[in-house]
Amino acid sequence: MDFIIATHNKKKQIELQRVLSPLSINVLTADDLGINLVEAEENGSTFEENARIKALSGLHDSSMPCIADDSGLCVDALDGAPGIFSARYSGENANDEKNNQKLLEELKNVPEEKRTARFVCCICCVFPDGREINVRGECEGKIAFEKNGEGGFGYDPLFITEHGCFGNLTSEEKDAVSHRGNALRKLAEELKKINL
């Protein structure tokens, strides 16, 4: 069965496909289908709300089952920031490098024991018949003092768990412990319960 994912991020598509392919689900982007998805305005105040906004918008534009996620990094010493603003933390022209630099700057005087953080991923899956699935995955860790590794994307080179820095993990190692991996496994379990 074909699902559309409400993102142009190929890395997210690959992650989703790895987890959902055993369920005979094919994850496609708007580019794959040659259609245009309106950029949904992420004006929710939580990861859950923003994931749902994107999923419903993708469903509306494609008439296909749609999966959307909203995810980010929540740092305890920054009262949960960057949170839902993780992708645009460093401003209008934000990118991974600028976001990582800003985070390191914000935490420069914070000692190791107070650099606790978690990655959060909320996924919403909506169907043309009105069914809806919402799941949340988290991964606890700490923020490093400097970038480590070249793998992953976003804040991965700064996020350290008991399994190591996300920037040094293989895709499979990261999937096994990450916030998105945890959320996707929950989504897969929920999808098994319904008649696709």
Identify the pLDDT of residue 196: 67
Residue-wise DSSP of the chain: -EEEES---HHHHHHHHHHHGGGTPEEE-HHHHT----------SSHHHHHHHHHHHHHHHHSS-EEEEEEEEEEGGGTT-BGGGGGGTT-TT--HHHHHHHHHHHTTT--GGG-EEEEEEEEEEE-TTS-EEEEEEEEEEEE-SS---S-SSTTGGGEEETTEEGGGS-HHHHHHHSHHHHHHHHHHHHHHHS--
Q: Is the pLDDT of residue 27 over 80?
A: yes
Q: Which two tokens stand for residue 2?
A: 């074909």
Q: What is the mean pLDDT of residues 154-171?
A: 94
Q: Is 168's pLDDT higher than 90? A: yes
Q: Is the peptide bond before 82 cis (omega within 30 degrees of 0)?
A: yes
Higher pLDDT, 57 or 12: 57
Residue 124: domain span: 2-193
| CA angle 49–173–125, rounded 5-degree value | 25
What pLDDT score was predicted for residue 66? 96
* pLDDT for 152: 79
pLDDT digits (tens, 9 = 90+) for 33-89: 989 888 888 899 999 999 999 999 999 999 999 999 999 999 999 999 999 999 999
Q: What is the CATH number of the domain that holds 141?
A: 3.90.950.10
Measured CA to CA, the distance from residue 174 to residue 165 in angstroms comes to: 9
Closest CA to 27 of 69, 56, 60: 69
φ/ψ of residue 57, rounded to 5? -65, -45
Q: Is the pLDDT of residue 138 over 70?
A: yes
Q: Give the pLDDT confidence score for residue 48 in this predicted structure.
A: 97
Q: What is the pLDDT of residue 26?
A: 92
Active site residue 69: no
What percentage of the chain reaches a pLDDT higher than 90? 72
- pLDDT at site 125: 97
pTM of the full structure? 0.91
Q: Is the pLDDT of residue 128 over 90?
A: yes
Q: Is the pLDDT of residue 6 over 70?
A: yes
Domain count, the chain: 1
For the segment 162-167, the average pLDDT, to the nearest whole number, is 94
Closest alpha carbon to 72 in 142, 12, 119 = 119
pLDDT at 20 exceeding the cut of 90:
no
pLDDT of 121 reads 96
What is the structure's pLDDT at 17? Answer: 87
* Catalytic entry in 69, 70, 96, 156: 70
169, 145 Cβ separation under 8 angstroms: no
